[in-house]
């Protein structure tokens, strides 16, 4: 298993790409913009960098794709990145699978609070970077309400659906 940690510098560089601006109109527009920027960042960091990387992980006999994949660095482990505005079971399953061979990063820019992930969970190796949606869009995004800051949220619902990662 790959050491899941990323350096503070890499974290800072990724957040700089997330918040670089300009603000956008939609989640789809933000996803495409950030995906392109992260491919460019990977290249600047001397990785082979690609969008929509095929993975060996299968779901209903279909392979998955990672939004951004960095590989081939002479000193650093590969990096798998998913970008989501909602808690996507499929993304989390792909990242948990990919954490066996790469660092796995989930960039979440949705309205809901982040889930609590137990240390013994198959999702524990996933690095979660939270992007504040109020800093990304021209107008408030619609959808589910923001969870109260003191509300305890767990990955229980998702983990129940994922017994065989």
Query: Where do the domains of the chain lie?
Result: 8-160
Mean pLDDT across 20-32: 89
Question: What's the pTM?
Answer: 0.81
Residue found by looking up tokens 């992007």 in the block: 131
Tokens of 81: 């990145």
Q: What is the mean pLDDT of the chain?
A: 81
Give the pLDDT confidence of 27-47 residue by residue, as tens digits.
889 999 999 999 999 999 999
CATH number of 8-160: 3.40.1350
Q: What's the pLDDT at 51?
A: 96
Q: For the purposes of burial, counting CB atoms within 10 Å of the CB of 150, is it exposed (0-12), middle (13-18) or buried (19 or more)?
A: exposed
Query: Confidence band (pLDDT; 50, 70, 90) for 161?
Result: very low
Mean pLDDT across 71-85: 91
């Amino acid at each position: 298993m790959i050491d899941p940690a990323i350096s503070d510098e890499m974290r800072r560089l990724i957040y700089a790409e997330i918040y670089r601006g300009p603000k956008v109109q939609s989640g789809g527009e933000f996803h495409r913009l950030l995906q392109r920027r992260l491919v460019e960042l990977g290249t600047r960091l001397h990785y082979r960098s690609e969008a929509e990387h095929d993975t060996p992980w299968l779901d209903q006999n279909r392979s998955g794709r990672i939004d951004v994949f960095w590989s081939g660095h002479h000193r650093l482990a590969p990096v798998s990145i998913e970008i989501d505005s909602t808690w996507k079971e499929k993304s989390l399953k792909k990242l948990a699978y990919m954490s066996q061979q790469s660092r796995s990063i989930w960039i979440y820019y949705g309205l809901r609070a982040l889930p609590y992930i137990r240390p013994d969970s198959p999702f524990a190796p996933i690095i979660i970077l939270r992007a504040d949606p109020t800093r990304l869009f021209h107008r408030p995004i619609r959808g589910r309400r923001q969870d109260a800051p003191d509300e305890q949220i767990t990955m229980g619902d998702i983990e129940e659906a994922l017994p065989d990662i």
